[in-house]
Amino acid sequence: MNKATSKSTEIRHRQVIKDIAVNGSTAKAAVKRAGYSKSVQEAPSKVTNTKSFKALLKEYLPESDVAMVHKRLLHAKVLLQMHFGEDVSRKEIKETIEEAGGKLIRVITSEVTYPGKNGKDDITVIKQVAYYSVDNTMAQDKALDKAYKLRGSYAAEKKELTMKGFSLVELATGKLNEDDEDED
Task: List pLDDT tens digits, range 96-119.
Answer: 999 999 999 999 999 988 888 877
- Mark whether 54 and 4 lie in a shared domain: yes
State residue 75's pLDDT score.
Answer: 82
Domain assignment present for residue 180? The answer is: no
State residue 163's pLDDT score.
Answer: 61
pTM of the model: 0.50
Give the mean pLDDT of 18-23: 87
Domain assignment present for residue 97? The answer is: yes
Domain tally for the chain? 2
State residue 143's pLDDT score.
Answer: 77
Give strand pairing partners of 80: 132
Number of other CB atoms surrounding residue 40 within 10 Å: 18
pLDDT 10s digits, 23-74: 888 999 999 999 999 999 999 999 999 999 998 888 888 888 877 877 788 7
Domain assignment present for residue 49? The answer is: yes
Decide which of 10, 29, 60 is a domain's last residue.
60
Taking alpha carbons only, the member of 136, 135, 158, 138 closest to residue 146 is 138
pLDDT 10s digits, 125-168: 999 999 999 999 898 888 778 778 777 887 776 666 656 676 66
SS3 of 29, please?
Answer: helix
* Structural domain of 113: 77-135
Number of other CB atoms surrounding residue 41 within 10 Å: 20
- Mark whether 113 and 88 lie in a shared domain: yes
Confidence of residue 5 (pLDDT cuts 50, 70, 90): low
- Mark whether 56 and 81 lie in a shared domain: no
Confidence of residue 6 (pLDDT cuts 50, 70, 90): confident
Cβ atoms of residues 28 and 44 within 8 Å: yes
Confidence of residue 79 (pLDDT cuts 50, 70, 90): very high
Dist. CA 9–CA 53, nearest whole Å? 9
